[in-house]
Structure 1
């Protein structure tokens, strides 16, 4: 089962949802009714989601080409976002649309923004360090070309 392609996607989506659940439970148990604490917990939650995605991206882009890991990561982010936005409010005693359409869509934009920034941050760090898949492939190609013996041309 772990070898299936959907398994890491599901694990990452559930991990992103778990981050949201922890933030909602902390607010509900410790700071019930405090809008400032809810806002701060929300920002911290989105920052943690961005850092988790940066870490996952940094690790994945070293092992796999971009065309292999990016669709999987995007699917996990969308699944985690849908769980967070549609199921998460029930943990804190609300419904997904209780804050109105503006609140609902602002959560989508914030989640998407932090996910994109986190993913780009992880990829840019790996690329800057020369540890991404493409840089490793180009380095291996350059080493192979320089170590190959020169062909003797007979005239």
Structure 2
């Protein structure tokens, strides 16, 4: 159980680190430019989706979805909470500085990208026949074909 929470925490911190890097690049290199902030947000959300997609693809090959999906889900929610509640302080702002609409728009955008990345990673694993269930069925088929047929005498 302790190892499971460690994996969730590492994922949340890694997703938050993506946000921190994006915010610091805009703050230091572009002096808070609005166009740079928009581009870095797009890059950040794309990278979050890619990270979750790759993680899902890797984990879907080894375990059942019931084992890895809560880890990925809680890690993504933890990363989102850190991003929307702690992240603005890195930019010299506050979470609700631009109003509730901006806050909840960021929550919805983050959630949408996280779900899209996770679903794409799982779909690719299923499409390639590399997910846990496909591999189990393939192993069962091979084992069944390798056994000789029982001859029943009548």
Q: TM-score, normalised by structure 2?
A: 0.97
5+ residue gaps, structure 2:
none
- Report what 1:108 is aligned to: 107
Structure 1 distance, partners of 2:31, 2:98, is 16
Q: Which aligned runs of 4 or more in structure 1 are off by greater than 2 angstroms?
A: none
SS of the equivalent of 1:150 reads coil
Q: How far apart, in 2, do the equivalents of 1:49 and 1:145 lie? A: 42
Structure 2 residue 137 is matched with structure 1 residue 138: yes
What corresponds to 2:84 in structure 1?
85
Instruction: Tell me, yes or no, if structure 1 residue 44 matches structure 2 residue 43.
Output: yes
* Paired position in structure 2 for 1:118: 117
CA-to-partner distance for each residue in 1:56-114, whole Å, 9 max, x for gaps? 00100001100000011000000000000000000000000001011000100110111
Secondary structure of the 1:69 match is helix
Partners of 1:33 and 1:44 in 2: CA distance:
16
1:94 correspondence with 2:93: yes
Alignment of 1:62-81 (within 5 A): 62-81=61-80
What is the rounded CA distance, in whole Å, between the counterparts of 1:140 and 1:52 in structure 2? 29
Q: Distance in 2 between matches of 1:126 and 1:136?
A: 10
Structure 1 alignment gaps of length 5 or more:
none
Question: If the length of structure 1 is used for normalisation, what is the TM-score?
Answer: 0.96
